[in-house]
Amino acid sequence: MHDSFTDTGSKSVHAVVVDPPTGPSEALVVLVPGLGLLKYALPTAHALARRGLSTRLLDLPGFGLPTPDSTRPNIHAIGLMTAAWVRQQAVGRPVVLIGHSTGSQAALTGALAAQEFHDDLALVMAGPTFVPGQRRWPRLLLATLTAYRDDTPRQLRASEIARGWHGVPEILLSGLDDAVDQRLPRLRVPLHLTSGEHDSFAPAAWLTRLAAVAGASPWVRTTTLPGSHNNLYTHPDAVADVITMTREALGSGRREPAA
């Protein structure tokens, strides 16, 4: 594992590089963490390496740096910078773009942009936010009470949340203003939707709704996993299996039923 820095033309993007022990894979997993908090996603990156897949964990907007300035703390700015990174770093490689929580909203923005120039692309939305009823503070706060019900206090990592204190509220507000169910019909690449069985931010009915509107995607699947919202940290092997399945769907013309 090591750091990399990519000049996208306007900004330098910091990424954490996690490759298999045997070296980089042909396919590349590009991971956009929820709320820009890197450490929650590291266990999944390592689980992917054990499966022979390379991961680039994008530090957007840059909370892993002393002075975050890779992009604005906004889901659409993060997504567009993700697409710019893919254009620079993933030429000729199959790419699975995965975002978690608000990172899934940013990843959708990135995929909608990248599908215009990158032919071998798939999208995984893990714990996708926000259900229409949770786009207002009272219901969001109510859902928060149970969204992490399977996590121990240690797994919530308060120190990691504190790392992004200055930008997390702005990311959250931009996510609340977004409606992924209205944007997904424009997606033309394979799509995998997943969440934990106890994730009150992304219940099964929400995944079913998102799958139903993704009519232009050639391959659509939903998978419910153990756990709650913080699955990339608490159930990394299960999430890595979802990503591996999506990698195998690249180039497929199938549209699979929800499962």
- Give the residue ranges of the chain where pLDDT is below 50: 155, 252-259
Range of the domain at 115: 2-249
The CATH number that applies at residue 152 is 3.40.50.1820
Nearest to 199 by CA among 160, 177, 220, 227: 227
Q: Is the CA virtual torsion 235, 163, 200, 222 positive or negative?
A: negative
- Convert the pLDDT of each residue in 44-59 to its tens digit: 999 999 999 999 999 9
Q: What is the pLDDT of residue 149?
A: 60
- CA separation for the pair 59, 82 (Å, rounded): 10
Give me the sheet containing 220-225, strands edge to edge: 2-7, 12-18, 54-58, 28-32, 95-100, 121-126, 191-196, 220-225
> 114 CB contacts (<8 Å, ≥6 apart)?
82, 83, 86, 87, 95, 97, 121
Residue 39 maps to a domain: yes
What pLDDT is attached to residue 148? 67
Residue 202 falls within a domain, yes or no? yes
pLDDT digits (tens, 9 = 90+) for 55-81: 999 999 988 777 657 889 999 999 999
- Check residue 223 and give left, alpha or beta (phi > 0: left; psi -120 to 50: alpha): beta
244 belongs to a structural domain = yes
pLDDT of residue 250: 79
Asked whether residue 254 is domain-assigned, the answer is: no
In single-letter form, the type of residue at position 99 comes to G
The Cα–Cα gap between 183 and 181 comes to 6
d(CA 114, CA 116): 5
Q: Which pLDDT score, from 0 to 100, does residue 246 have?
A: 96
Residue 207 is assigned to a structural domain of this protein: yes
Task: Give the tens place of pLDDT for each residue, 14-46.
Answer: 999 999 999 999 999 999 999 988 888 999 999
Please check whether residue 61 is in contact with residue 71, taking contact to mean a CB–CB distance below 8 angstroms: yes
- Based on the structure, what is the number of domains in the chain? 1
The model's pTM is 0.90
The reply to whether 259 falls in a domain is no
The reply to whether 176 falls in a domain is yes
Q: Which amino acid is present at 102?
A: T
Residue 257 lies in a domain: no
